[in-house]
Chains A and B, each alone.
Chain A
């Protein structure tokens, strides 16, 4: 079984091979061939991931080592993969959801003249993401970490002829680099503290340092910076809404289902550090909860069908990060899993709508589309209900697990756990509200733009079949994580062997029930409020609400972009200009001036060369005299 698990090491290579084929020979491939090749590569990866999954289930974690990567004396980084319960689960999500999105893309990108480039980059992304989750050391993980960032940059700017798209990609890359800066420093500090960068070894060694030691907290905060960059958490969240400039399947795969959850994975993977650094862990939760709340509020005010979902993603990733920060690693990963289904579904649904409307993305011009696009509408409704937290759908279970974790996490108790719980509960309610708005404005009610409505048509089967599969997943996947007091919690048990230990208060069964009912009430309140404002009201109420200061803050996304522009971008550009002109006008000129001394010296020496023979003769006499005196002083004649 071990050997079979090792076989899964081929998964990233296959995806890479797909990327290379499409990248090098794409121009010779006709029709759907690029998409089929890419999908096959990911499908093979999915099969390998399944094999690895069952292998790990039967025989526990497996490590594969392919030799050394970096060496210098004691400093040794291996090139190896680690298959355990966490990494194989992530592999399944990446290749499973990835496969569906690849297939969907065949329909969505049909006829685009860059289709082979598209699939090459998408495959490259899958390869990098697999390396990220399979890596057994931080540097190798960083290879995948930057790799997905590069692919994200490429795919956001896929339609590069519009400079706005290219700039959105650039922004994503640069903001991610800030996070990478954190990742690098975190690795440096980790090595300083532990003398190794092997993830398992670090996790094992972390408890040997003092609980809450400053260096652990430092490492934790730096990894948080890294996670915030990749997972679009405060203060590095601004790139994700802009990233919607990419093709919609890319938004589904990279900017919803997989890449943005890398930060969650990172924190879960380094649980040994966070479990022993309560200060860092609490910071993680605070950042995450504030992000979730802020993004949920912003989502209400958006009018772009994809941007609403993008802000929703930021908010939902906030839920996940909060869970792993609180020490409920399984709950965070559980939400990664459920979110991968319903958010990918929402994006693909949105893509289907955009496809049908020929590129229209403004929800104010939509409405009533559910009647013309039955499959898209129905599946989107299921996803909406799942994310809103309607009972018995997947999002309900995972969100409930996170809320419970916040309430009961012992380390969090000293850092305002209850406040965090209330804030996140509120966010859950807002989520239900803005998702209802999203669904209602797009699919229900009366069409607001006749022309757009007339144009709409259901998408082809290659797109609707993945939607349906994802819809089924959005319903059933939650049942792997039923509340532990009701039924065996499969995912918690599955992940238990690889998760760092954090103490939780034990809730009584009645309190558990209260929690479950509470979140139902909140979801119902959110949806009900949405119904009241958007479906029942004639729009007057929505308009009146839209005039409040909170609403304008929501529309402006709390002004982060403007703030960063005046706080970082402009001063940064100024600094770069300043350094460049400093170099040109001061350093260069100064050093040139200094080197100008040399010709000056030359001219001084030239003065001796007067042309008067007798002056030369005199100099000669002086020289002989000087030599004689020197010789006498040294004692040659003695």
Chain B
């Protein structure tokens, strides 16, 4: 039941926040309560009993949530990230903070639904529903060009989702599965011919690639981050909402293994390009948020490499990286927001030498930057390493190419630090306030936690990753029997 509560609690708190919007203190208290409460629930999520309720039973749709596999890990890390993010939103948003907080909470509920749902239609509903709070955050609280950014975001997401929905509906209809539940689907779908699987996979992949995102369908991400509210809180949500990889991992790959086998090499190539492309583009960015957006695009490329290498270690690593990047990317977006709070600028040229007057700020930022570029011992390394290693086992050249991003990451990482904090002091800046320190502490703790002790989380993720590899093996076995099956089908048709 906890899996249901982690979806419902944020919604409930969001409603309370909207009701109590007149009192800033109440909004802050509720935001904190919502963040901590969801986090506390998430701690007990893994291994707890799932939830199953009828929704559209005649159509085989059931509201089923389940706390096995990778989902609880992602929910937990997201919940950790949300605590400080909600605090920032409640304190740094001047107008309509209650609305901002409520939207964040609703988005969190949607995310939790995405990560925990075991019914494909429920998953799709959450997938789409989560778009709305993100869009509203951008539209209501964004910068000057928020309308263009929002339109772009919407068009990308909706266009992708349409094809995905067609694939989802066809999936059950064509395979004759009893319901949209993952286990029913997994039993039925491998019997689909490789050709059909490929088409369905492509349909789902388009929706998911947009939200992964991979080059060249990424430009919504850059604009979204640039135009979002300067506190950075909405960008944190952006870094949580890159759920495309999870879609592949939990649905597209295990359901359509034969299709995945055929399409994965192309996606792998795209992902490798994305990894290097994003890192290179980050190097010469002048705008702090665009910089972080491109760096994070590069991370997504590496996640894609791990996924589409179709190797157990790579799959596990990719999802671990997905969880870990929430921390470093999210933390740095909040750091960007804190810098903006001081200087009203995101342009790197307006900064320099801050380490002198703000040593703690510099230290924490450097720590997060090192996590961001995958320094071992910190959160991004285990996932990045395993993703690349796994992909290398099956497809050495694309993986080796993607590994070049490591060098570029070194360049943009130290560049960023140097341009913000080193060199001659520009204008003295106040160091971290107590609140800002509290905001950043969860990120530091999380970065260390995921960096030093990845094994327990990896074991949870592995359970689900194994499903993918098992299905892939079944697909390979089935492929050996394909000639007879098609032949039988053909003769049957002639009669």
Contact = CB atoms under 8 A, between A and B. Distances in A.
Is there direct touching of A and B in the complex, by C-beta distance under 8 Å?
A: yes
Interface of A: 23, 67-75, 79, 117, 139, 142-143, 145-147, 150, 153, 157, 160-161, 163, 166-167, 169-170, 173-174, 176-178, 180-181, 184-185, 187-189, 191-192, 572-573, 575-577, 579-580, 583, 587-588, 590-592, 595, 598
B403 A185 contact: yes
A181 B400 CA distance: 9
Contacts of A590: 216
B112 to A, nearest CB: 25
14 contacts: A72-B390, A73-B466, A139-B376, A146-B377, A147-B376, A176-B410, A184-B403, A185-B403, A187-B389, A188-B403, A583-B219, A583-B281, A588-B223, A592-B152
B216 A587 contact: yes
B91 interface: no
Given A188-B389, A579-B281, A72 B376 contact: no
A160 B421 contact: yes
B216 A579 contact: no
B284 A71 contact: no
Nearest to B155: A595
A150 to B, nearest CB: 6
Interface of B: 151-152, 155-156, 159, 215-217, 219, 222-223, 277, 280-281, 283-285, 294, 312-313, 315-317, 353, 355-356, 359, 363, 370, 375-377, 381-382, 385-386, 388-390, 392-393, 396, 399-400, 403-404, 406-411, 414-415, 418, 421-425, 454-455, 458-459, 461-462, 465-466, 469
Q: What are the nearest 7 A-B pairs in CB distance?
A: A177-B410, A576-B283, A188-B392, A72-B316, A166-B422, A68-B455, A160-B422
B356 A185 contact: no
Contacts of B312: 72-75
Contact of A75 (B151, B159, B386): B386
A591 B216 contact: yes
Contacts of A579: 277, 280-281, 284
Contacts of A588: 219, 222-223
B355 A70 contact: no
A17 to B, nearest CB: 14
B462 A174 contact: no
A73 B313 contact: yes
A151 to B, nearest CB: 11
B207 to A, nearest CB: 15
A143 to B, nearest CB: 4
A147 to B, nearest CB: 6
Nearest to A79: B455
> Which of A67, A147, A588 gathers the greatest number of chain B CB atoms within 10 Å?
A588
Query: Binding site of B, secondary structure by majority: helix, strand, loop or mixed?
Result: helix
Nearest to A575: B280
B290 to A, nearest CB: 9
Contacts of B386: 70, 72, 75
Given A180-B406, A188-B389, A591-B216, 12 more contacts: A79-B455, A146-B376, A147-B376, A174-B414, A177-B407, A177-B411, A180-B410, A181-B406, A188-B399, A191-B389, A191-B392, A591-B217
A572 B216 CA distance: 22
Contacts of B400: 185, 188
Interface of A is mostly: helix
Most B CB within 10 A of own CB, among A72, A161, A167, A590: A72
A16 B375 CA distance: 16
Nearest to A159: B422
Contacts of A170: 414-415, 418
A180 B466 CA distance: 30
Contacts of B277: 579, 583
Residue of B151, B422, B462 with most chain A CB atoms under a 10 A cut-off: B422
Contact of A70 (B159, B375, B423, B458): B458
B281 A192 contact: no
Contacts of B219: 583, 587-588, 591-592
Nearest to B382: A70
B284 A580 contact: yes
Nearest to A113: B356
A153 B414 contact: yes
A191 B399 CA distance: 14
A595 B359 CA distance: 45
Nearest to B219: A588
Nearest to B276: A579
Contact of B155 (A23, A69, A74, A598): A598
Contacts of A178: 407
Which of B215, B317, B377 is most buried by chain A, counting CB atoms within 10 A of its CB? B377
A69 B410 contact: no
Contact of A580 (B151, B281, B418, B422): B281
Contacts of A75: 312-313, 386, 389-390
A177 B399 CA distance: 17
A72 B353 contact: no
Contacts of B461: 72
Question: Which of B285, B375, B459, B465 has the most chain A CB atoms inside 10 A of its CB?
Answer: B375
Given A166-B418, A583-B219, A72 B375 contact: no
A599 B388 CA distance: 41
Contact of B455 (A71, A143, A166, A191): A71
B261 to A, nearest CB: 19
B127 to A, nearest CB: 20
B414 A173 contact: yes
A573 B283 contact: yes
Nearest to B418: A166
Nearest to A596: B155
A343 B425 CA distance: 35
A546 B285 CA distance: 45
B356 A72 contact: no
